[in-house]
Amino acid sequence: MPAYQISRRTLLRGAAGSAALLAAGCTRDPAPPAPTGSGSASALGLRFPPSFVWGAATSAYQIEGAANEDGRGPSIWDTFSHAAGHTRNGDTGDVAADHYHHLESDLDLMRGLGLKSYRFSISWPRVLPGGTGRVNPKGVDFYRRLVDGLAERGIAAVATLFHWDLPQALQDRGGWENRDSAAWFADYAGVMYAALGDRVHTWLTLNEPKTVVDVGYRFGVHAPGLRDPGRAFVAAHHLLLAHGRAVQAFRAGGRGRIGAAINLAPAYPDDDTDDAAKRATELADGYENRLYLDPILKGSYPADVLDDLGAGAPMRAAIRDGDLAVIGSKIDVLAVQYYNPVFVGASGSYETKLPTSEASWQQIYPQGFYDILTRIRRDYGDIPLIVTENGRPTTDQVRDGQVDDPERIAFLRDHLAAAHRAIRAGVRLEAYHLWSLMDNFEWAEGYGQRWGIVYVDYPTQRRIEKSSAKWYRDVIAGNGI
Ligand code: FCB
């Protein structure tokens, strides 16, 4: 059992050189502009490069609903959320934000905000109800309408192929523990490249394999709900292999560009005068970051993590000759998701040193965003980066038809300031998608946490722009904060 602890969701809870600056096209206004919109966050006078792309993110199971319509098959999240005791209040994604039936108005909402890019995910069981084999034309049609609607509105489509809703039929065949999962995933990816290839700007294979491994397979808090480190890291290897196979399938005929969405957590010793804490931090960094970045970007697993897993670890036996070359197939872009740092004690325990958001796993630390972005460039080279998730939940309430969420505005502003500094330091950061466009089903937390810039009144499915949405519209229009 690895000596580190999980950074999130363990419990179901109650200024760089001016040359780089100019090269990046990033500027600082001589005087901050007057705030134009909600006015609730002071403007910092930071302009982003003219080519910078502003977006927002969602995922299929969290917003679509229509769980039993038009031939969609069940996913592991349908199974998991319907079994007692797995989600807050027994919430499920059956209806969620009912995006499936609000597609056109949600697209108009995106245009109204001025989004330049929308990052969504495709529900594998909506398209292939049994996971492999028969394609469901109505499922494909939904995503075609989505990408056509985005194109009509001048919004770039960033499509994630796997955001955790594995077809239940494939779980029944062993899911990610079965090596065949890599081939199932590549076949499904091929179906989507062929169906939507002319409309998708950027493809992303996996969303946060680390969360699947840790929260789904080690801590049993997400689907499929296992608590088995041996099986967890076998799943990790097959997820990564699936990523590599999907990249290879893309090279054989896909259009656009491809990468993976990896959640990164910069690790710091809780006491930087303590050598044991520093060593534990290095290993925690291995599990949090290098276990996913190294194979994808360097074609190798980090030796310290493999050592820590032990010579007899089932994952070691699952790695076959040639796998790492597949996993390390060249990608065009790395999608970074940043929510929190980890502070590591001498024993490998994770400490809470900073205030958290309503998500108790989320310590708020914008500097960590800068640190992780610059670290990728330092350790992995100059690969183009896009941010595909960053955000926080707030306890929102509707008052006089308005939802005021100043904490979210402050969070986004401070993290964007850190991203701006990273660009000035030479990081090739091309785009930012906040999490999330709208409130949604937050996995084990159900509907109890609201992460959107748009409030969803679930009983009526009415959308209300929060003050953060109005603020973000101004950010996009002004290309800066
Ligand atoms: C990320 C997930 C996303 C959402 C946010 C809050 O880990 O990718 O679906 O749950 O956290």
pLDDT band at 2 (very low <50, low <70, confident <90, very high): very low
Cα angle 424, 429, 435 (rounded to 5 degrees) comes to 120
* The ligand 1 atom nearest the CA atom of 263: 7
Ligand 1 in contact with 365 (CB < 6 A)?
Answer: no
The reported pLDDT for the residue numbered 189 is: 98
Q: Residue 415 pLDDT > 50, yes or no?
A: yes
pLDDT band at 39 (very low <50, low <70, confident <90, very high): very low
14 band by pLDDT with thresholds 50, 70 and 90: very low
Residue 85 structure tokens: 């005791």
Asked whether the predicted pLDDT for residue 58 surpasses 50, the reply is yes
Which ligand 1 atom is nearest residue 451's CA? 6
What burial class does residue 375 get, using C-beta atoms within 10 Å of its C-beta: 0-12 exposed, 13-18 middle, 19+ buried? Answer: middle
Give the tens place of pLDDT for each residue, 343-366.
999 999 999 999 999 999 999 999
What is the β-pairing status of strands 454-457 and 462-465?
antiparallel
Does the pLDDT of residue 31 top 60, yes or no?
Answer: no
* Closest ligand 1 atom to 443 CA: 10
pLDDT score at 26: 62
Q: Ligand 1 in contact with 165 (CB < 6 A)?
A: no
CA distances from 176 to 95, 229, 302, 434 (A): 27, 14, 21, 28
Distance 28 CA to ligand 1 centre (A): 32
Residue partners of 220: CB distance under 8 A and separation at least 6: 226, 227
Give the residue whose CA is nearest to atom 10 of ligand 1. Answer: 442
End-to-end CA distance of the chain: 44
Q: Report d(CA 453, CA 391) in Å as an integer.
A: 9
Q: How confident is the model at residue 341 (pLDDT cuts 50, 70, 90)?
A: very high
Torsion of CA 206, 208, 210, 216, to 10 degrees: -90
CA pair distance 93, 59, nearest whole angstrom: 11
Strands (E) in 184-276, as ranges, are 202-207, 257-263, 267-269
Q: Which of 177, 288, 389, 442 is an active site residue?
A: 389
pTM, two decimals, is 0.94
Exactly one of 64, 177, 208, 288 is catalytic; which is it? Answer: 208
**427 has a pLDDT exceeding 50:** yes
Q: Check whether the bond before 224 is cis (ω within 30° of 0).
A: yes
- How far apart, in whole angstroms, are the C-alpha atoms of residue 199 and residue 279? 47
Residue 208 annotated in active site: yes
* CB of 59 closer than 6 angstroms to any ligand 1 atom: yes
Look at residue 373 in the predicted model and tell me its pLDDT.
98
pLDDT of residue 239: 99
Among 41-55, 104-118, 378-392, name the one with the lowest average pLDDT: 41-55
Average pLDDT over residues 50-63: 99
pLDDT digits (tens, 9 = 90+) for 319-331: 999 999 999 999 9
- Ligand 1 test: best mutation among 6, 163, 208, most atoms within 8 Å of CB? 208
Per-residue pLDDT, 42: 67
Pocket test for ligand 1, best of 389, 412, 433, 451 (most atoms within 8 A of CB): 389
CA angle 462/463/464 to nearest 5° reads 120
- CB 435 less than 6 A from any atom of ligand 1: yes
Q: Is the CB–ligand 1 distance for residue 362 below 6 Å?
A: no
The whole-chain average pLDDT of the chain stands at 93
| Ligand 1 binding pocket includes 323 (Cβ within 6 Å) | no
Nearest ligand 1 atom to the CA of 359 is 6
Q: Give distance in angstroms: CA of 98 to centre of ligand 1.
A: 18
pLDDT at residue 19, as a whole number = 34
Q: Which residue among 337, 361, 450 is best mutated to probe the pocket of ligand 1, counting the most ligand atoms within 8 A of its Cβ?
A: 337
Residue pLDDT, tens place only, 236-294: 999 999 999 999 999 998 999 999 999 999 999 999 999 999 999 999 999 999 999 99
Q: Is 208 in the pocket of ligand 1 (CB under 6 A)?
A: yes
Ligand 1 mean position to 327 CA, how many Å? 23
Res 44 pLDDT > 80: yes
Lowest mean pLDDT across 20-24, 289-293, 408-412: 20-24
For residue 21, is pLDDT > 80? no
Say whether pLDDT at 35 is over 90.
Answer: no
Which structure tokens are listed for 223? Answer: 């689907």
Q: What is the mean pLDDT of residues 164-193?
A: 98
